[in-house]
Amino acid sequence: QKEVEQNSGPLSVPEGAIASLNCTYSDRVSQSFFWYRQYSGKSPELIMSIYSNGDKEDGRFTAQLNKASQYVSLLIRDSQPSDSATYLCAGGMDSSYKLIFGSGTRLLVRP
Amino acid sequence: DVKVTQSSRYLVKRTGEKVFLECVQDMDHENMFWYRQDPGLGLRLIYFSYDVKMKEKGDIPEGYSVSREKKERFSLILESASTNQTSMYLCASSSRWGRGAYEQYFGPGTRLTVT
């Protein structure tokens, strides 16, 4: 099992819909999780951090962390074509400042 | 705002050349990282540094070395460039303290082509 796993997609949703991106993680990954957005040819941009069990909302984005089930998700409400990108899930490792990245999920928002 | 800059956006080098990639951050971050990103392989950690003159190997250090003489600057060195080092190279930095200790901020990347 990979330490951080994501479905590669593409996940295709119509404009205005809710996009749901999911990520599972192994025991080696600690309790800090991050979502990065990466446009084609660009570098990853941090969009959400979540440290505690439950939901965290920021504008159209909601991150959800469920430690018991070892998954973290990102919901994007009112999806826009400009949200089309690859979304990387990352988790911190205990006793290290390294992040473990998933391979990313490609999101396509259809106009 | 955190700002991480990289010396070049695009670089073309010949096989066997010594290549220097520079990264500078302006947020007084203790931790700095070098990754490479290739299609289908995702982000892979090459080296990271948690303090000046301190470094630790990542997952794929072979063929690379690093230097951190000042806190704000982290250099990646390809001692003898090879075609299989053609890739996008990404630098990142993070603080060591508090809840944000893991939040990594990336530079714009350097797309290196070795011919």
* Tens digit of each residue's pLDDT (9 = 90 or more) over A52-111: 899 999 999 999 999 999 999 999 999 999 999 999 999 988 777 889 999 999 999 999
Residue A51 in contact with residue A32, Cβ under 8 Å? Answer: yes
Give yes or no for residue B100 having a pLDDT over 90.
no
Q: How far is CA B28 from CA A62, A83, B32, B89, B94, in A?
A: 29, 31, 10, 22, 9
* Section B67-96 average pLDDT: 96
d(CA A50, CA A35): 9
pLDDT at residue A39 is higher than 90: yes
Are the beta carbons of B31 and A103 separated by less than 8 Å?
no
Task: Say whether pLDDT at B6 is over 70.
Answer: yes
At residue B101, the pLDDT reads 66
Which tokens go with B17? Answer: 């050349």
What is the Cα–Cα distance from B49 to B69, expressed in whole angstroms? 11
Chain A residues with at least one Cβ partner in B under 8 Å? 32, 34, 36, 42-46, 49, 51, 88, 90, 92, 97-99, 101-104
CA distances from A22 to A4, A5, A97, A107, B42 (A): 10, 9, 23, 12, 17
Q: How far is B50 from chain A (nearest CA, A)?
A: 8
Least confident of A31-40, A102-111, B59-68, B90-99: B90-99
- Band of residue B99 on the pLDDT scale cut at 50, 70, 90: low
